[in-house]
Amino acid sequence: MSRLVIVSNRVQIPTEKAPRAGGLAVALGSGLAPGTLWFGWSGKRGHNGRTPSLHDAQGVTYATIDLTEKEYHDFYVGFSNGALWPLLHYRLDYLDYHRHQHQGYCDVNAYFAEALLPLLKDDDLVWVHDYQLFLVGENLRARGATQKIGFFLHIPFVPPEILDALPCGLELLRGLCAYDVVGFHTDEHRNAFLSCVETFLGLASADDGSFVFEGRLVKTVTAPIGIDAEEFAQTAVRAARGAEVRRIRESLFSRALVIGADRLDYSKGLPNRFRAFDQLLERFHEHRGKVSMLQVAARSREDVDRYQQLRRTLDRLVGDINGRYSEFDWIPIRYMTRALSRKSLAGFYRVARVGLVTPLRDGMNLVAKEYVAAQSSADPGVLILSRFAGAADELKEALIVNPYDADEVAEAIDQALAMDLGERKERWQALRERVWAGTPARFTETFLSVLRD
Ligand code: ADQ
């Protein structure tokens, strides 16, 4: 069996306290067979660490490099999160492109490839993750790597009209074509990529989504990421017996809870979500004083201006809504701008009658799956899900909404709060099957089987 080499922007080495730190580590789950090498940025900024430091933990070797302050600002804050992230979430109005930051991105991708190359063995399978590292494959090839190299994009891909706005869009597209396999969460993202390949490179793809670029076959694959639902469900059951869940229940006085949990990111549609909740209270008076919303928004990318602006917008919006509707013993929106532990989150999902997952665009969205996994079979809550989340492809029995339509979302919340137990159970059973089927192993196997082939 070939050794698996994972390459991702951030590498978090597991510790006793956090045995599987980080989103990708959780998602890859059993994909991390003993012997796996995981390569990426340590999260440290400074001038040291140009050659990888190696650490072994739980059978996996972690190889990390550091970035300089300038690399961090140009590659990570600037081009990755100020240009690529908004572009690939259809936010051309937020696209903040600077040529020197793009150069920083190219340089860091080359640096990743240079530092990784000496660690590779001939028959390794190399799996590169996400938009920060589009050009690592091309750089490895240019330095003579002959291994199979695959790439997975965790966020959406966009159609040609949108990619066209990025001055270096064609260059990135060609970079992606250096991989043997390019993977996406949904057919929509994959088709958008193939459509760009056809429009900008003039290459038609075969029925199986493969095409030939400069004499090499490039395959594409749809591999929806999932969660370890059974483990998450057990965490929720344990949490439900704990002190925090008791406290939140006591604080609700039998009121229904609507929950949202996201990184504080403009792709998640938080202002729209609050406006929808405002509409609910405006139009359906019977819910005033009877329902509370808990929004947990983990602060994220605070070095990027747009994220600071968003935080101020949300502070104002929540203050405005709470000021208008609060009673001396009830506030409509409980708003926390920090991360919760997985256990607390699981417990709160289980208490919540409604899970409100309304991103404006999202590659997949794992919160939707976690909310389903955390419900009790005897009295499950209702998932409201944006049609623009990749998860909507699979989770069809949720109440699917257009997050731009505050009235539609308000009506869906009203419908969810009124839904009888029979319908809630029926929808949840169907969702449960889909979420349990989408294991981390299915994700890694779907991708790696095509790469190995
Ligand atoms: P994210 O944009 O980070 O991931 P998501 O898939 O929802 O979005 O994952 C977020 C994770 O963070 C979930 O496990 C969630 O529980 C946790 N989380 C969110 N808010 C939290 C909070 N306030 N406190 C604690 N934990 C919180 C990117 C893409 C997604 C894609 C994933 C995986 O944008 O579309 O699903 O990668 O591919």
> What's the average model confidence in pLDDT over 397-418?
98
pLDDT, one tens digit per residue, over 173-192 is 999 999 999 999 999 999 99
* DSSP class per residue in 91-113: -GGG----HHHHHHHHHHHHHHH
> What's the average model confidence in pLDDT over 440-451?
95
How far apart, in whole angstroms, are the C-alpha atoms of residue 441 and residue 449?
Answer: 11
What are the strands of the beta sheet with 291-298, ordered from one edge? 333-336, 291-298, 256-263, 354-357, 382-386, 399-401
Residue 318 Cα to ligand 1 midpoint, Å, equals: 22
The one-letter code for the residue type at 344 is S
For a ligand 1 pocket test, name from 28, 81, 361, 365 the mutation site with the most ligand atoms within 8 angstroms of its C-beta.
365
> What's the average model confidence in pLDDT over 210-218?
98
Give the position, in ligand 1's atom list, of the atom nearest the Cα of 389: 35
For a ligand 1 pocket test, name from 133, 364, 447 the mutation site with the most ligand atoms within 8 angstroms of its C-beta.
364
Residue 368 Cα to ligand 1 midpoint, Å, equals: 10
**pLDDT of the residue at 238:** 98
**pLDDT of the residue at 111:** 97
pLDDT, one tens digit per residue, over 360-372 is 999 999 999 999 9
Q: How confident is the model at residue 31 (pLDDT cuts 50, 70, 90)?
A: low
Q: Please provide the average confidence, as pLDDT, over all residues in the chain.
A: 96
- Residue closest via CA to ligand 1's atom 38 equals 154
359 vs 27, more confident: 359
> What's the average model confidence in pLDDT over 25-31?
70
> What's the average model confidence in pLDDT over 319-330?
97
| Candidate from 30-44, 170-184, 301-315 with smallest mean pLDDT | 30-44
- Residue closest via CA to ligand 1's atom 22 equals 339
Q: What is the CA radius of gyration of the chain?
A: 22
How far apart, in whole angstroms, are the C-alpha atoms of residue 194 and residue 258?
Answer: 39
At 294, is the secondary structure helix, strand, or coil?
strand
Q: How confident is the model at residue 81 (pLDDT cuts 50, 70, 90)?
A: very high
Residue 395 above 80 pLDDT?
A: yes
Residue 366 Cα to ligand 1 midpoint, Å, equals: 6
How far apart, in whole angstroms, are the C-alpha atoms of residue 91 and residue 74?
Answer: 20
Give the position, in ligand 1's atom list, of the atom nearest the Cα of 268: 2
| Candidate from 12-16, 147-151, 334-338 with smallest mean pLDDT | 12-16
How far apart, in whole angstroms, are the C-alpha atoms of residue 201 and residue 275?
Answer: 42
Give the position, in ligand 1's atom list, of the atom nearest the Cα of 367: 7
Q: How confident is the model at residue 22 (pLDDT cuts 50, 70, 90)?
A: low
Q: How confident is the model at residue 231 (pLDDT cuts 50, 70, 90)?
A: very high
Which residues form the pocket of ligand 1, taking CB atoms under 6 Å from any ligand atom?
Answer: 23, 27, 154-155, 225, 261-263, 296-298, 339-340, 345, 362-367, 370
Query: Any idea which residue has 């490895």 for tokens?
Result: 140
Q: CA 270: distance to chain centroid?
A: 15
Residue 38, by phi and psi: left (phi above 0), alpha (psi -120 to 50) or beta?
Answer: beta
Token couple for 386 = 């944006």
Residue 21 above 60 pLDDT?
A: no
**pLDDT of the residue at 32:** 78
How far apart, in whole angstroms, are the C-alpha atoms of residue 207 and residue 348?
Answer: 44
Residue 405 above 90 pLDDT?
A: yes
Torsion 72-78-79-80 (CA) sign: positive
Residue 11 above 90 pLDDT?
A: yes
pLDDT, one tens digit per residue, over 47-67 is 766 799 999 998 899 999 999
Angle in degrees, 0-180, between the axes of helices 270-283 and 305-325, rounded to the nearest 10: 10
> What's the average model confidence in pLDDT over 16-45?
80
> What's the average model confidence in pLDDT over 211-232?
97
> What's the average model confidence in pLDDT over 302-313?
96
Residues facing residue 263 across a β-bridge: 298
**pLDDT of the residue at 28:** 80
Residue 349 Cα to ligand 1 midpoint, Å, equals: 14
Residue 33 above 90 pLDDT?
A: no
**pLDDT of the residue at 274:** 98
How far apart, in whole angstroms, are the C-alpha atoms of residue 225 and residue 23?
Answer: 11
Residue 365 Cα to ligand 1 midpoint, Å, equals: 6
Q: How confident is the model at residue 297 (pLDDT cuts 50, 70, 90)?
A: very high
What are the strands of the beta sheet with 216-222, ordered from one edge? 53-57, 60-67, 37-45, 4-10, 125-129, 148-152, 181-184, 216-222, 211-213
Give the position, in ligand 1's atom list, of the atom nearest the Cα of 370: 16
Residue 202 Cα to ligand 1 midpoint, Å, equals: 36
Q: How far lies 377's CA from each of 220, 288, 367, in Å?
A: 37, 28, 18
- Active site amino acids: 154, 362
Predicted complex ipTM = 0.99
For a ligand 1 pocket test, name from 311, 366, 370, 383 the mutation site with the most ligand atoms within 8 angstroms of its C-beta.
366
How far apart, in whole angstroms, are the C-alpha atoms of residue 51 and residue 30?
Answer: 28
Give the position, in ligand 1's atom list, of the atom nearest the Cα of 368: 7
209 with 194: CB under 8 angstroms? Answer: yes
Residue 359 Cα to ligand 1 midpoint, Å, equals: 11
